[in-house]
Amino acid sequence: MFRVGEILRYGQAGVCRVEEIKMMDAGGGEQEYFVLKPLFKNGAMLFVPSSNEGLVGRMCPLLTPEEIEAIQAEISRRPAEWIRDFRRRSEAFKKALASSDRRDALFLMKCIYAHKRKLRAEGKGIHTTDDYFLKDAEQLIFSEFSMVLEKSVSLVEKEIRSLLGEESSL
């Protein structure tokens, strides 16, 4: 499955390294845990019980450069869609961020960038909640693409913003 030293993506924690695999007793008897260290977010180590299929299922291999290229091409052709209803939009964005499919996070970014441009032209700004979703999606996409493509996060950010039609700094 996963080995010590392996780099992977874990849910919304993003890019992590498997620091160790060890036996621990967390109150229900001793069991094996993956110890993950987020590489692009400050924070505590994550302990994932190897027996919990739901949590282990959130541990995904990083994309390949070819997969990133294909995802970028697909999303660049797909028109942005804005969900006007706040509750429906929030649920869709939560689902996109929880998904292991990076297309969902990249498409979320495209939709928010497009809406942000529209509002900026009207002298308005986006809802704070949408901005939080955008920042989470950017962190996931920029960090993974940066790691895989061996480019700086700032360069990946510039390239993605350009690809999605959001060249100016947000």
Is 98 a domain residue? yes
Residue range 62-74: mean pLDDT, rounded: 97
Would you say residue 6 has pLDDT above 50?
yes
Residues 31 and 74 in one domain: no
Q: Which residue has the higher pLDDT, 133 or 41?
A: 133
Per-chain mean pLDDT for the chain: 93
Q: Does residue 169 sit within a domain? A: no
Report if residue 89 sits inside a domain.
yes
Do 16 and 145 meet the contact criterion of CB atoms below 8 Å apart? no
pLDDT higher than threshold 60 for residue 169: no
pLDDT for residue 26: 78
Mean pLDDT (whole number) for 68-73: 97
Residue, of 118 and 1, whose pLDDT is higher: 118
The CATH number of the domain holding residue 20 is: 2.40.10.170
Residue 24 above 80 pLDDT?
A: yes
Q: Tell me: pLDDT of 71 over 80.
A: yes
Q: Is the pLDDT of residue 97 over 90?
A: yes
150 occurs within a structural domain: yes
Q: Closest by alpha carbon to 48, among 65, 62, 66, 60?
A: 60
In a domain, 124, yes or no: yes
Rounded to an integer, the average pLDDT of 121-142 is: 96
Let me know if 169 is exposed, middle or buried by CB neighbors in 10 A (0-12, 13-18, 19+).
exposed
Give the pLDDT of residue 168.
53
Residues in the chain: 170
Count: domains in the chain: 2
Q: What whole-number distance in Å separates Cα of residue 141 and Cα of residue 54?
A: 22
The predicted model gives 66-83 an average pLDDT of 96
Say yes or no to pLDDT of 70 above 50. Answer: yes
Q: Residue 94 has which token pair?
A: 């939560």
Residue 29: its pLDDT value, please? 85
**Per-residue pLDDT averaged across 115-134, rounded?**
96
In this structure, the answer to whether residues 78 and 132 fall within a common structural domain is yes
Task: Tell me, yes or no, whether 57 and 100 share the same domain.
Answer: no
CA–CA gap between residue 8 and residue 61 (Å, rounded): 5
Is the pLDDT at 64 greater than 90? The verdict is yes
d(CA 107, CA 12): 16
27 CA to centre of own chain: 31
Cβ pair 72, 162 in contact under 8 A: no
**Which of 37, 35, 31 is CA-nearest to residue 47?**
35
Strand order in the sheet with 14-25: 46-49, 30-38, 14-25, 7-10, 59-61
What are residue 22's DSSP bridge partners? 33
Which pLDDT score, from 0 to 100, does residue 170 have?
Answer: 44
Are 72 and 148 within one domain? yes
Q: Give the residue numbers spanning the domain of 25.
A: 7-61
